[in-house]
């Protein structure tokens, strides 16, 4: 199978969808002739021009509201925030309008809109460009939240996001953008709410989010040398969350760790832990554990930045702690 | 506010400490600076003093003596009068039990989901994981008698499954038979299996257990198993590291120590002006070796990563046998000290070390080590290098022997011979310089005037 980068695979998905459906258009800062800060739209301006690749001023709340209105009228906007941190200026529109329109209209008004942006702590981007934020959106009724980790998933999930009639956050971790992986030639879509078991094991289950999937797999490869077999689950979508795959794994292993670069308090790990406790209490042989990034604004200094993110060594330590419970 | 008392870090390399004993009791009022407990760490026993005042509260799950405790782990709390423990303060409020009397006044009494023990000293029920509890139910195991292998003794799934040996028959025994069997060390499952094989009933009574006990041969005394003390573990680690990573070569020679013995005898007998304490051979050799090392800096070296550091000062470690094991106190700047000073200092260091009160700094930083086994009638031996140093001198016994002292006249005389063993790390220093160093030591032992005048 051919190999592609995460970014190129996602862009191929966007291009295929734009070719299929003329009601799809992209809005954002520098996504026109420039092709996007993260090359999310490179080459598309030449194909579809300024009408469907609409550069904007720095006015997040404005274009978030405009695109919400466009989606109400049946268009399918893709709002490209570059860094997801910039979307925070549009929160009022997002939470009060975008998320609630379907409910307020008794389902008569659809909301087929995609919000995409880069997340994650990478390369001394400092605290205004390092947010993860997904628990904010999984907390709110009405949103879908997608965190792909492989090029194949990035393309298949973006196509599903664009075809969804619900508002979707498509969150691309910066550490993954240049990672390569196999991507099928033929068209495919990946449904929401289906986790992927990246590694099968019997001793403990680790649910890892976004870039932490790769870190966890590295840790598990080292532990495998000691005969420790960990099952690694990549949820791929956080809303909807495929809790069944996690429960099935916990039923097998009895032990669960959630590895998440994002903050622990009220985070996705807390949600998964609570659901597993409620639905599989009798399967747990040890307390559910979490390993998160430190609860602090992200430091700019590269050495301090490295200290706030869970690394492979730390993941190994916590897995050992979990097995010792 | 409750102040945590934690395992302190007493040196940069310290990862864990072993609690030796509490010097204060639960409930004692503690002032700043009072000693709270002693720990054993990195070869030394140290007293740890309070850096806050308050009433000492040692929780029931606090580390017990002889258990390794991670640096920073909570040992106890210091509370102010009337102050609750942190976890008790955070506990949900339990209200009066639900009775018809308060049923009618319209409010619903909250009931604590997890009633907490009234006092922290209450014994806790054995903890079991939910999964282990489910498995115990499924495979019909009474978990209340199991001991857990999980954290803090929690019973986990594997404990429950281990309790049910798939091949063993279900044991049916009277309670009395069970008690007698436990006292006599009889495995009821084995007994049941053998009875089943012999065609007997699988019901076991006291008589059956007594019969089995009569047949049972007394067990051989089992070898005494003692957990490693932290000192033993550190010694084991360092010796293994040294043995595995160095390229040790041992050179042995004999020195004619007659003059050295005479020198010491004279010092000893000169009651009026002899330094106190009287210098031992080890003290004399410490001074001698320190001076020799100034002439042979290649042996006064440590290997640090990829760098050989040639030290300009000489710190001599002296191997000391203590009740707790091998310790190496260090005489600092031995090249700048007189024999008398060295004797006084080693006497103090050895005493402190033997009673386990040496400070961590007294036990590290050596550049060369001397180990003396002469008192055990040992001649040559192969000492292990005390890393990161690159050489160690083993001193053997002094023995009187007839020696040929003049080949021409074939004259023999009784001489006092001393065996010397120098182990050096061939990664750091070559054989010839090491041999030259040992030769100088030999010559200086034979002619003390050459170095006592320095």
* Cβ-Cβ contacts under 8 Å, A250 against chain B: none
Q: Is A129 a catalytic residue?
A: yes
Side by side, which strands form the sheet with A24-28?
A53-55, A24-28, A76-83, A114-119, A168-173, A144-146, A237-239
Q: What is the pLDDT of residue B218?
A: 60
Q: How many CB atoms lie under 10 A from the CB of residue B177?
A: 22
Nearest CA in chain B to A283: B131
**Cβ density class B223-258: b for 16+ within 10 Å, e for less:** eeeeeeebbeebbeebeeebeeebebbbbbebbbbb
Q: Which residues contact B423 (CB under 8 A, 6 or more apart)?
A: B248, B249, B250, B251, B382, B383, B384, B385, B391, B392, B394
In contact, B370 and B316? CB cutoff 8 Å: yes
Please determine, for the modelled complex, whether the ipTM score is greater than 0.90.
no
Of the partner residues A282, A324, A325, the one whose CB lies closest to the CB of residue B130: A282
Inter-residue contact A118 to A176 (CB < 8 Å): no
pLDDT in tens, A43-74: 999 999 999 999 999 999 999 999 999 999 99
Q: CA–CA separation, A241 vs A272, rounded Å?
A: 9
pLDDT of residue B271: 65
Separation CA A72–CA A108 (nearest Å): 10
pLDDT tens per residue, chain B (454 residues)? 788 898 888 777 778 888 888 888 888 899 888 889 988 876 678 888 888 889 998 888 888 888 888 888 888 889 888 877 765 544 433 333 333 444 444 344 334 334 344 443 334 566 899 999 999 988 888 888 888 888 888 899 988 988 876 544 456 777 777 777 877 778 777 787 777 777 777 678 888 888 888 777 565 666 777 767 777 888 888 888 888 888 999 999 999 999 999 988 888 887 677 667 888 899 999 999 999 999 999 999 988 878 888 998 999 999 988 877 888 999 999 999 988 889 999 988 888 888 878 888 888 889 999 999 998 999 999 999 998 899 999 999 999 989 888 888 989 999 999 999 999 999 999 999 999 999 999 999 999 998 888 7
Please list the helix, strand and coil fractions of chain A in percent, rounded to the nearest 5, in that order: 45, 20, 35
Mapping DSSP to helix (H, G, I), strand (E, B) and coil, where does residue B55 land?
strand
CB crowding B259-269: b at 16 or more within 10 Å, else e? ebbebbeebee
Compute the nearest-CA separation of A288 from chain B (Å).
11
Contacts of A286 in chain B (CB under 8 A): 129, 150-151, 156
Shortest Cα distance, chain B CAs vs residue A239, angstroms: 28
Instruction: Say whether A325 and B132 touch across the interface (CB within 8 A).
Output: no
Instruction: Return the pLDDT at A26.
Output: 98
Q: Do A285 and B133 touch (CB under 8 A)?
A: no
Quote the minimal CA–CA distance from B53 to chain A in Å. Answer: 32
Phi-psi bin for A202: left (phi > 0), alpha (psi -120 to 50), beta?
Answer: alpha
Cis (ω within 30 of 0) for the bond into A240?
yes
Q: Under an 8 A CB cutoff, do A254 and B150 touch?
A: no
Task: Say if A251 is an interface residue toward chain B (CB within 8 Å).
Answer: no
B430 is catalytic: yes
Q: Is the CB of B129 less than 8 angstroms away from the CB of A254?
A: yes
For the segment A156-182, what is each residue's pLDDT rounded down to a tens digit?
A: 999 999 999 999 999 999 999 999 999
Tokens encoding B450: 């050459």
Closest listed residue to residue B337, CA positions, set B385, B380, B275, B399? B275
Is residue B85 exposed (0-12), middle (13-18) or buried (19+ Cβ within 10 Å)? middle
The pLDDT, as a whole number, for residue A170 is 98
Residue of A204, A285, A289 to mutate, interface with B, max B Cβ within 10 Å: A285
Average pLDDT over residues A214-240: 96
**Cα Rg, chain A, nearest whole Å:** 20
**Distance, CA of A203 to chain centre:** 27
- For β-strands B44-49 and B35-41, DSSP reports them as antiparallel
Q: How far apart are CA B145 and CA B10, in angstroms?
A: 41
**Ramachandran region of residue A106, left (φ > 0), alpha (ψ -120 to 50) or beta?**
left
Question: Is A324 part of the contact surface with chain B (CB cutoff 8 Å)?
Answer: yes
Which residue among A17, A29, A93, A129 is the active-site one? A129
Which residues of chain A have a CB within 8 Å of the CB of B134? 282-283
Residue B316 φ then ψ, to 5°: -100, 125
Which carries the bigger pLDDT value, residue B12 or residue A5? A5
pLDDT digits (tens, 9 = 90+) for A212-224: 999 999 999 999 9
**Where is B268: in which H helix or E strand?**
helix B258-269
* DSSP classification of residue A139: H
Q: A285 CB near a chain B CB, below 8 Å?
A: yes
Name the phi and psi angles at A130, rounded to 5: -130, 10
pLDDT tens per residue across span A255-297: 999 999 999 999 999 999 999 999 999 999 999 999 999 999 9
Q: For B17, list phi and psi in degrees, rounded to 5.
A: -130, 155
Helix spans in B149-247 (H)? 157-163, 175-184, 188-197, 206-215, 230-245
Contact B157 A281 (CB under 8 A): no
Active-site residue (options: A29, A60, A231, A271): A60
Note whether A202 contacts B: Cβ–Cβ < 8 A. Answer: no
Whether B129 sits inside 8 A of A285 (CB atoms) is yes
Size of interface A-B (CB pairs under 8 A): 32
On whether any CB of chain B is under 8 Å from the CB of A278, the answer is: no
SS3 content of chain B, % helix, strand, coil (to 5): 35, 25, 40
Angle (CA) B185-B186-B191 rounded to 5° is: 170
Q: Six-digit token pair at B76?
A: 């106890």
Q: How far is CA A306 from CA A312, B99, B356, in A?
A: 12, 58, 41
Q: In what order do the strands lie in the sheet with A196-199?
A: A196-199, A230-234, A204-208, A256-260, A289-292
Q: What is the end-to-end Cα distance of chain B in Å, rounded?
A: 62
């Amino acid at each position: 199978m051919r190999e592609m980068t995460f970014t190129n695979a996602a862009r191929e998905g966007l291009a295929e969808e734009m070719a299929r459906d003329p009601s799809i258009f992209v809005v954002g800062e520098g996504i026109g002739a420039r092709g996007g800060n993260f090359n999310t739209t490179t080459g598309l301006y030449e194909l579809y021009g300024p009408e469907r690749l609409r550069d904007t001023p720095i006015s997040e709340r404005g274009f978030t509201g405009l695109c919400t209105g466009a989606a109400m009228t049946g268009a399918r906007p893709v709002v490209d925030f570059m860094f997801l941190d910039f979307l925070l200026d549009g929160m009022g529109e997002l939470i009060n309008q975008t998320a609630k329109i379907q409910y307020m209209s008794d389902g008569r008004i659809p909301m087929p809109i995609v919000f995409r942006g880069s997340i994650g702590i990478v390369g001394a981007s400092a605290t205004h460009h390092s947010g993860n934020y997904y628990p904010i959106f999984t907390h709110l009724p009405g949103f879908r939240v997608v965190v792909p980790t492989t090029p194949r998933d990035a393309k298949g999930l973006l196509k599903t996001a664009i075809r969804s009639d619900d508002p979707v956050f498509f969150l691309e971790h910066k550490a993954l953008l240049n990672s390569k992986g196999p991507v099928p030639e033929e068209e495919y879509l990946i449904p929401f709410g289906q986790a992927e078991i990246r590694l099968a094991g019997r001793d403990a289950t680790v649910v890892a989010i976004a870039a932490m999937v790769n870190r966890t797999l590295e840790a598990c490869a080292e532990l495998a040398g000691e005969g420790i077999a960990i099952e690694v689950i990549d949820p791929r979508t956080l809303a909807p969350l495929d809790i069944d795959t996690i429960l099935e794994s916990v039923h097998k292993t009895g032990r669960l760790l959630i590895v998440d670069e994002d903050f622990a308090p009220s985070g996705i790990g807390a949600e998964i832990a609570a659901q597993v406790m409620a639905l599989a209490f009798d399967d747990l042989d040890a307390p559910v554990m979490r390993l998160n990034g430190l609860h602090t604004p992200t430091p700019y200094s590269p050495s301090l930045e490295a200290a706030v993110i869970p690394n492979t060594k730390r993941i190994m330590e916590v897995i050992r702690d979990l097995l010792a419970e | 506010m409750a102040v945590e008392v934690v395992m302190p870090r007493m040196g940069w390399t310290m990862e864990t400490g072993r609690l030796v004993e509490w010097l204060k009791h639960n409930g004692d009022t503690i002032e700043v600076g009072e000693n709270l407990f002693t720990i054993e760490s990195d070869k030394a026993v140290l007293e740890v003093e309070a850096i806050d005042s308050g009433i000492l509260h040692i929780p029931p799950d606090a580390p017990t003596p002889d258990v390794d405790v991670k640096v920073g782990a909570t040992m106890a709390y210091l509370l102010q009068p009337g102050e609750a423990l942190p976890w008790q303060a955070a506990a949900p409020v339990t209200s009066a039990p639900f009775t018809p009397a308060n049923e009618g006044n319209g409010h619903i009494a909250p009931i604590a989901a997890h009633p907490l023990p009234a006092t922290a000293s209450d014994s806790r029920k054995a903890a079991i994981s939910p999964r282990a509890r489910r498995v115990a139910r499924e495979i019909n195991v009474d978990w209340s008698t199991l001991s857990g292998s999980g954290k803090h003794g929690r019973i986990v799934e594997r404990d429950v499954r281990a309790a049910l040996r798939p091949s063993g028959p279900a044991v049916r025994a009277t309670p009395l038979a069970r008690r007698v069997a436990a006292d006599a060390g009889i495995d009821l499952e084995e007994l049941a299996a053998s009875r089943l094989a012999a065609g007997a009933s699988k019901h076991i009574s006291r008589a059956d257990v007594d019969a089995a006990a009569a047949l049972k041969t007394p067990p051989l005394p089992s070898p005494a198993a003692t957990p490693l003390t932290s000192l033993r573990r550190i010694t084991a680690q360092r010796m293994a590291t040294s043995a595995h990573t160095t390229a040790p070569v041992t050179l042995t020679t004999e020195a004619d120590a007659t003059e050295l013995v005479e020198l010491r005898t004279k010092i000893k007998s000169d009651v009026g002006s002899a330094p106190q304490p009287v210098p031992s051979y080890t003290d004399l050799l410490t001074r001698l070796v320190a001076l020799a090392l100034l002439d042979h800096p290649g042996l006064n070296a440590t290997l640090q990563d990829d760098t050989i550091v040639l030290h300009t000062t000489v710190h001599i470690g002296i191997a000391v046998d203590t009740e707790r094991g091998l310790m190496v106190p260090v005489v600092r700047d031995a090249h700048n000290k007189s024999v008398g000073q060295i004797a006084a200092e080693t006497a103090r260091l050895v005493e402190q070390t033997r009673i386990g009160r040496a400070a961590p700094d007294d036990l590290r930083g050596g550049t060369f080590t001397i180990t003396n086994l002469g008192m055990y009638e040992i001649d040559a031996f192969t000492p292990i290098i005390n890393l990161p140093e690159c050489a160690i001198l083993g001193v053997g016994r002094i023995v009187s022997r007839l020696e040929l002292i003049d080949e021409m006249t074939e004259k023999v005389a009784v001489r006092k011979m001393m065996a010397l063993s120098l182990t050096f790390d061939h990664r750091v220093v070559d054989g010839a310089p090491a041999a030259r160093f040992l030769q100088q030591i030999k010559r200086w032992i034979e002619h003390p005037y050459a170095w006592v005048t320095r």
